[in-house]
Structures are given as C-alpha cells and as structure tokens.
Amino acid sequence: MATLRLNKVNKRFGGTHVIHDVDLEVVDGEFVVFVGPSGCGKSTLLRMVAGLEKVTSGTVEIDGAVVNDVSAAERGLAMVFQSYALYPHMSVYQNMAFGLENTRVPRPEIDQRVREAARLLRIEEYLNRKPRALSGGQRQRVAIGRAIVRKPRIFLLDEPLSNLDAELRVLMRAELASLHNRLAATMIYVTHDQVEAMTLADKIVVLRDGRVEQVGRPLDLYNHPANRFVAGFIGSPKMNFLPARFLKAAPGNVMVEVAGIAEIELPFDGGRLSPGEEMTLGIRPEHIRHDTAGAAPFQAAVTVSEQLGGESYLYCMLQGDHKIVIHASGQTEARRGDEIAMTFPPHQTYLFDADGTALQRTGAKPAAVSR
Ligand SMILES: Nc1ncnc2c1ncn2[C@@H]1O[C@H](COP(=O)(O)OP(=O)(O)OP(=O)(O)O)[C@@H](O)[C@H]1O
Ligand SMILES: [Mg+2]
C-alpha cells in the first residue's frame, strides 16, 4: 500500500483554471473522502492522481516519488467510476480477470486473486454470470472486485455508489467500510453524499471552486468548521444561518443582534470585529431547543411538522421570514400552524464574520438573553 502527496497542484483546461494550489497528504491505509458541490473539481483532482489527466503545475508524489510523467498504467493505482462499465459479453470472472491478462501475473495467481476478491465481496456464486443477470449492487461489487484483483497501491473511487438506490447504497457503504478494514488499503473516495463522507472517511477534504476549504476528521469538521461554507456543507440537514450584527465585545463574549429580533451574548472572541459589522449566526437543526409554550425571544411558526417516530423535523418561519429547520430526536407535539419558542444554546452556536470565517469560540459563560 502507499502514501500520496500533492504539492501545489493546479489544473487548467485551456483558459479555465479549475484546480488551485491543492496541497494534500494521504498516509498509508487512510480512507480520504473528497466532497464538494458539483463542478468543484473532485473528479479532476482524482483523475490527476490516477494519471488520466495531466497536472498543469505542481507535483503528485506516490510513496515519495514524483509521478507527474508516469503513465496511468504504471502508477499502480486502480480507479472505480460512477458508471462502472462492465463488459456485457464477459462473465463476472472474465470481467475481473481481464485487467490482469495482459500483465505478467501467471494464470494460477490470477485465478486465486479473482476468487479471493469474489469471496471478500460475496459474489462467488455469480462468477459465471453475465453482468446483465446481476443486480446493481452486485455489478458494483464486480467493478470494485476488478480493482481489488489488481492489488493497487491506492484505490481511487469516484462516486461508485451514486447509481444505486438508497437501500443498496447503505448496504454497499457498510461493505466498503469493512473492505477497507480488511484490506488495510489506502483509498480516495469522491462523493457528494454527506453521510458517506461522515461515515467512511478518516479524513475529509472539502473542496469549493477548485480550492481546498478545509481538511480534517469528520467530527472535527462538524464541530469546528473553519468557515461558513464548510459549516453549511457538513451536517444534514444543514446548519441554519441567520443574519447578525456585531454590537460589542465583553471578556470572552460578544454581544450580537440576531435577525433584528434579539440581542444575545455568545461565547466568542470578538477581538478583531468592529461595531456594526455584518455577521452570520449558525445553529444546527439538532441543537435548537424548542417549546410549544415557552417565551424565548425567537418565536417561530411551524410550517411543516414531519414526525418519523424515532425523530422529528420541524420546518419553521421565524419573524422576518427566516426559515429555520429543527431536528429533534423522538416525537414532538408541535404541529403545522403552532407557534413555538426556540432557544439557541450559546455553546452550540457558530459565528462567522463578513468574509465567512468562523470566530474562535471561548469557554466563557454568556449572560442571559436580552431583547
Ligand atoms: N476536459 C475538460 N475541459 C474543460 N473543462 C473541464 C473538463 N473537465 C472538467 N472541466 C471543468 O472542470 C470543473 C471541475 O469538474 P469536475 O468534473 O472535476 O467536477 P466534480 O467536482 O467532479 O463535479 P461532479 O460532482 O458534478 O462530478 C468543472 O467546471 C468542469 O466543467
Ligand atoms: Mg465528478
């Protein structure tokens, strides 16, 4: 298995600059997930690692050696795509063995590798079938099996589960996680599925417009997003944002006016802010407390109440037409049309300055909310 390092990698397609100065380190055995909105450059970055796309500037290093001029075939990596085109006229066995047949791997070893991969992926009983006689999830496993038999130094997977239905995705996600454990392989995985990123990754790389916004362990990104973009991208349903205005700083706290509704004190370091500065308050749906009878300053009308039994989602409208989503565990009494009172626990709020950069939280204990 292998390590990967990207140094100041850039990519231009003609005049379009799509990847900007990307630095990244992937250690041996790590499961790294690239996430970001459509068109942000995830596939392009992966294809540059694979050698399917040339790097405009910067270097790609595998196991300490620069591979910019090494062909895709010689990099020893395996890529699994979203559209995992299997050869329709070949059996599952032949599909998996095909990539090895023009190499120096001896036939008995090819046979052994195919059977071993089939066993790992639980597709042994389908080895003689044609792909059309398989379910989507089984086909996907064949595509992954094709990568496994090559014993790649790094697995590169570009949205491999996006063609599967929701139930299969969940199953395959768990299988990928256990496969990663069993193979102890280095894997780079592209997805825009939030849950896949959170559950599979040792490390998430959040990309936006060809730039790395933040790199970190899933819960570190969830708990400490560097900026508003990452805060809104990691977590589902996404973080609620409300306009806010900085009023003044107190030791360990800042006083902000939120959505023109209330002035609240929050435990952030406001050293670099100036009075009147526009800010954004962030609060995750799962952190809002609500009460159908309370008198908190934030009063909202419930527009949709989704009761799933084990959890509930309330879609609300705050004074001033601000949409707020609340996620509660268990069942709530709030129904469409109800007025509810919301509180934002200060230590679970986020504040972003006008540029979207997250303010540093302090350990201070804020004073009570005032109107
Ligand atoms: N061959 C190409 N020529 C010109 N522009 C390209 C080429 N390939 C990709 N791009 C552009 O580069 C940007 C990044 O594309 P890329 O496919 O890497 O995005 P992505 O993050 O994988 O998106 P998605 O989530 O939709 O798959 C896009 O704006 C795309 O239009
Ligand atoms: Mg893509």
Question: 3-class DSSP state for residue 50?
Answer: helix
Q: What is the DSSP letter of 53?
A: S
Q: Report which of 121, 137, 124 is spatially closest to residue 93, judged by C-alpha positions.
A: 124
Q: Is 195:201 a contact under the CB 8 Å cutoff?
A: no
> Given this model, what pLDDT does residue 112 score?
94
**What single DSSP character describes residue 150?**
T
Q: Tell me, what's the pLDDT at 251?
A: 86
* Pairing state between β 77-80 and 154-158: parallel
Q: What is the pLDDT at residue 169?
A: 83
Which is the closest atom of ligand 1 to the Cα of 11? 12
| 313: enclosing H helix or E strand | strand 311-318
Q: Are 46 and 34 in contact (CB under 8 A)?
A: yes
Q: Which pair of structure tokens corresponds to residue 214?
A: 């933040």
Residues of the chain short of pLDDT 50, as ranges, are 370-371
Which architecture does CATH list for 237-352? Beta Barrel (2.40)
> Ligand 1 pocket test: which of 9, 20, 34, 42 has the largest number of ligand atoms within 8 Å of its C-beta?
42
Nearest CA to ligand 1 atom 5: 13
User: 290: left (phi > 0), else alpha (psi -120 to 50), else beta?
Assistant: beta
- List, in order, residues 6 or more apart from 102 with CB less than 8 Å away: none
Per-residue pLDDT, 271? 81
Summarize pLDDT for 263-317 with one digit per residue, the tens: 999 999 988 889 999 999 999 999 999 988 777 789 999 999 999 999 999 999 9
Nearest CA to ligand 1 atom 14: 41
Question: Which residues have any ligand 1 atom within 6 Å of their CB?
Answer: 13, 16, 18, 36, 38-44, 192
The Cα–Cα gap between 47 and 308 comes to 41
* Mutation to probe ligand 1, out of 9, 34, 43, 191 (largest number of atoms < 8 A from CB): 43
Measured CA to CA, the distance from residue 223 to residue 286 in angstroms comes to 13
Q: Which of 9, 22, 44, 83 most suits a substitution to test ligand 1, by most atoms within 8 Å of the C-beta?
A: 44
Phi, psi of 322 (to 5 degrees): -100, 125
CA-190 nearest atom, ligand 1: 22
Which atom number of ligand 1 is nearest to the Cα of residue 14? 4
Closest Cα to atom 22 of ligand 1? 43
**Ligand 2 center to 79 CA (angstroms):** 13
Kindly give, in sequence order, each residue whose CB lies less than 8 Å from that of residue 215, ignoring residues fewer than 6 positions away.
24, 203, 204, 205, 206
CB 334 within 8 A of CB 293: no
Residue 58, classed as helix, strand or coil, is strand
> What's the pTM?
0.91
Q: Sketch the domain layout of the chain as residue ranges.
A: 4-232, 237-352
Query: Each residue of 153-172: pLDDT tens digit?
Result: 999 999 988 877 788 788 88
**CA-based nearest residue to 25, from 159, 207, 216, 163:** 216
For residue 371, what pLDDT is reported?
Answer: 47
Q: Do 4-232 and 237-352 share a fold? A: no
- Ligand 2 center from residue 190 Cα (angstroms): 8
Q: Distance between CA atoms of 127 and 142, rounded to whole angstroms?
A: 9
CATH topology of domain 4-232: Rossmann fold (3.40.50)
Name the closest ligand to CA 209.
1
Both tokens assigned to 162: 């996006």
CA distance 264 to 255: 6
Rounded CA gap, 267 and 206, in Å?
Answer: 26
Q: Give the separation between CA 246 and CA 278, rounded to whole angstroms.
A: 7
The rounded distance, in Å, linking the Cα atoms of 97 and 117 is 11
CA 42–ligand 2 middle distance (angstroms): 6
**Separation between Cα atoms, residue 221 and residue 230, nearest integer Å:** 7
Its sign, for the CA torsion 216, 219, 224, 226, is: positive
Atom of ligand 1 nearest to the CA of 47: 18
